[in-house]
Chain A
Amino acid sequence: MRFKTSIRNIQTFSTSLSTLGKVAWVRLDDDSVRFTIIPETGTQVWASLSIESIFEDYTIQSAAPNNTINLELPLPPLHRALKSAINATSASIRLTKKDGVPVLSLTIITNTVSSGNSAGGFLNPANADPFGDNVFREESLDANMGREREAIVTQDIPIRVLTADSVEGIHEPRVREPDAHIVLPSLIQLKAISDRFTKLAMATSYGGARGGASSTASVPKLELAANMHGSLKLSISTDSLNISSVWSGLNNPELDPRQLDGENPENHPSAKLKAAGQDAWSTVRIDGRDWGKVLSVGRLGGRVIACFADEHALILYVYLSNFNDGVDDSVLTYYISSFSV
């Protein structure tokens, strides 16, 4: 079993995932890298990334078909380890054993302050300015000096190698055809407002309403709804108020006919909702805190399409087309169940 690769661009990705869970199941094979997070409660994430989007010089080998390797990987140490690579000149990762314990070993070569040039990290696209100072990097007359003033950082992340059997039974959730699909607005704005709503609901149910009928001692449930006429509505009700924010002028993308299995697009639930007009909404109720974590994916800057199955589930597809220019087959799928009223 062998796995070795250079890495690029993985840090923000790992940050986004680690807000949802502490451990990911990672499946590596010849064609793709898949990160799956299945917390006991809350949102599941199935992230399928093209190899080129986060790795280069990728080598994988195992006895399993398609050279598949399954790992259980703690995300916070991964994220922390990758932090060391931000200003590095190179970073690579390999699967190995140290003293009998399997680890993902990250090797980072970084310049030290005293040798200068520590700013020109390769994982830092802002520094890849073709006119920047790094193009004609000045070297010391003594060639050895420059090369030797670097630090080699090794970060060993503990992991578990999973057998094929143990992951066999884990499948991506199946959800019925959605009633509404819509491109989400700026996630940072959506997150800011969602977090405020959650806070508001918590604040007013604990301090505000004296003697009011105490609603269930639970995390506030946000109501999120979309219609097929470009509107998204976020709302919450508490003892002391009800509040809603409405976005309009959003895009309801066309369905890809190939995915309809030859069905008449007019029979699709979303077509029916559209026909029902602007006041026809498809609604889900979601845990405010969990939703706030999901929206952390905004830091990746991808395009996000939300699919609503009324009173049932919300699925977010995050397309990381801009994650790495020219590669667009990386997608993160978030499965969020709706709470009942």
Chain B
Amino acid sequence: MSTHDDSDHGPPIFKAVSSSARQLFQLLNCIRFAPKCQVQISNEGLRFAAEESRVMQGIVFLDKALFTTFNCALPEVADDEADSVADLPNFQVSLSALLETLQIFGATEAPSARFSRSDADGYISNVRRDRPNAFSNQALGMAGICRLSYTGLGSPFGIILEEAGVITTCNLNTYEPDNPEEIPFQRDEMQVKIIMQARWLFDAISELSSTSPNRLDITASPTVPYLSLAATGHLGSASMEFGKGRELLETFSVAEKWTQSYKFEMIKAASEAMRLASKVSVRGDEQGVLSLQFMVEVEGGGVSFVDFRFVPYLREDDEDDGSEENIGSDYGNIED
């Protein structure tokens, strides 16, 4: 079977080359909570969106600056911007397949602690002396060259990776787009905006996950403890308080006390972004929609952004009769 022959789909309308498959992997890995993602190609870059049950959304934007070459020959469209967005190439691919492909040469294993352990079973030394490097993952090459291409509706999303004399060609089947509406975040009704180090959020969430909670309560208040994350599990409860607000929180704009609850597992799904990013902007609007914007510093300078939005649990003191667990209904109440 001939799998690496893209001639049957005509000339590509999109072609891009990245010098680091690892970098693309790391960014896309932040939204791996969903099996599939929406891809949208524009002259500015590639937008990957994943969502779950309409209550959680993760978006990675790969700016064209991340690529060494980026050619996008989009069909001519009218100047009207709204129309042009609708006409941009738009499709779904399997996110897990995309991620596996990008790490075909071992992108993620490099810093793994597993291989840094001492060779207690003495095996390393029995191996050919002239090939010691075969056992470090670096030998497999992390920063492989990666070519992306797309020919148009119905054609596959092509990825070609080159590494140490091996050429890997992957054609990801593309599916009809399923464009869910974005979870609306009301910027003009914003009640909370906090910018902080992302790894502190990561640390707090991993700490709380040890109690295996269902629900995460986030409270922001203009006074001590400023920001608090709390969770209750069957073994007890735990809370993380960022009491030294001024030193910990780079930007802190909270007018009055704001408390919302979210499904813990959803927030935890953003852990990878928390781990990878340098900073996070935590924002909350009047409806309780939580926006987490992660700033990721990419190799070789520059930044990329990964965005998450979460719909809160319906609050008990709200008017509706919806149960606390009914996370979907709240979304319906939001006026767009």
Chain B 89-115: CB-based contact to A (< 8 A → 1; otherwise 0): 000011111001101111000000000
CA distance A86 to B123 in the complex (A): 9
| Interface status of A52 (Cβ within 8 A of chain B) | no
Q: Is A66 an interface residue (CB 8 A)?
A: no
The 8 Å CB contact of B171, one of A123, A241, A249, is A241
Decide if A200 touches B101 in the complex (CB within 8 Å).
yes
Given contacts A208-B35, A241-B170, A242-B170, contact A192 B106 (CB under 8 A): yes
In the complex, residue of chain B having the shortest beta-carbon distance to the beta carbon of A283: B1
- A114-152 toward B: CB 8 Å interface, digit per residue (1/0)? 000000010111110000000000000000000000000
Interface residues of A in 207-266 (CB under 8 A from B): 207-210, 223, 235, 237-249
Is A245 in contact with B168, judged by CB distance below 8 angstroms? yes
| Residue B126 lies at the interface, judged by CB distance under 8 Å to chain A | yes
Cβ contacts under 8 Å, B73 to chain A: none
Q: Are A9 and B4 in contact (CB under 8 A)?
A: no
Of A87, A199, A246, the residue contacting B122 (CB under 8 A) is A87
**With A189-B166, A243-B169 as given contacts, are A208 and B94 in contact (CB-CB < 8 Å)?**
yes
Residue from B1, B4, B95, B104 in contact with A193 in the complex, judged by beta carbons closer than 8 Å = B104
A322 on the B face (CB < 8 A): yes
Q: Does A203 contact B (CB under 8 A)?
A: yes
Q: Shortest beta-carbon distance, A108 to chain B, in Å? A: 14
Are the C-beta atoms of A196 and B103 separated by less than 8 Å? yes
The answer to whether A209 touches B134, judged by C-beta atoms less than 8 angstroms apart, is no
B161's closest neighbor in chain A, by CB? Answer: A245
Is A102 part of the contact surface with B, judged by Cβ < 8 Å?
no
What residue of chain B has the Cβ atom nearest to residue A240's Cβ? B94
Residue of A nearest to B4 (CB): A244
- Asked whether B101 lies within 8 Å of A241 as measured between CB atoms, the reply is yes
The answer to whether the Cβ of A276 comes within 8 Å of any Cβ in the partner chain is no
Contact B123 A189 (CB under 8 A): no
B15 to chain A, nearest CB (A): 19
Contacts A83-B121, A192-B140 given; indicate if A200 touches B97 (C-beta within 8 A): yes
**Within the assembled complex, what's the spacing in Å between the Cα atoms of A210 and B176?**
13
Give the bracket for the number of chain A residues in contact with chain B: 35 or more
**A223 — which chain B residues lie within 8 A by C-beta?**
1
The answer to whether A9 and B126 touch across the interface, beta carbons within 8 angstroms, is: yes
Query: For B121, what are the chain A residues with a Cβ–Cβ distance below 8 Å?
Result: 11, 83, 86
Interface residues of chain A: helix, strand, loop or mixed (majority): mixed
- With both beta carbons as reference points, the residue of chain A lying nearest to B34 in the complex is identified as A207
Which residues of chain B have C-beta atoms less than 8 A from A76's C-beta? none
Instruction: Mark each residue of chain B from 159 to 184: 1 if its CB lies under 8 Å from any CB of chain A, else 0.
Output: 00000111111111100000000000
Kindly report which residue of chain A lies nearest to residue B159, judged by CB atoms: A243
With A and B bound together, what is the CA distance between A157 and B96 in angstroms? 44
Alpha-carbon gap, A125 to B171, bound state (A): 46
Contact B101 A243 (CB under 8 A): yes
**Set B122, B126, B135, B173: member contacting A241, Cβ < 8 A:** B173
Interface residue? A188 (CB, 8 A):
yes
Of A199, A207, A240, chain B has the most CB atoms within 10 Å of the CB of A240
The residues of B that contact A121 with a CB separation of less than 8 Å are 122
Whether, in the assembled complex, B127 has its beta carbon less than 8 Å from a beta carbon of chain A, the answer is yes
A243 close to B127 (CB less than 8 A): no
A residues within 8 Å of B by Cβ?
Answer: 9, 11-12, 15, 83, 86-87, 121, 123-127, 185-186, 188-189, 192-193, 196-197, 199-200, 203-204, 207-210, 223, 235, 237-249, 299, 301, 322
> Could you write out 9 A-B pairs with CB less than 8 Å apart?
A15-B123, A188-B135, A189-B164, A189-B166, A193-B104, A208-B97, A246-B166, A249-B165, A322-B128
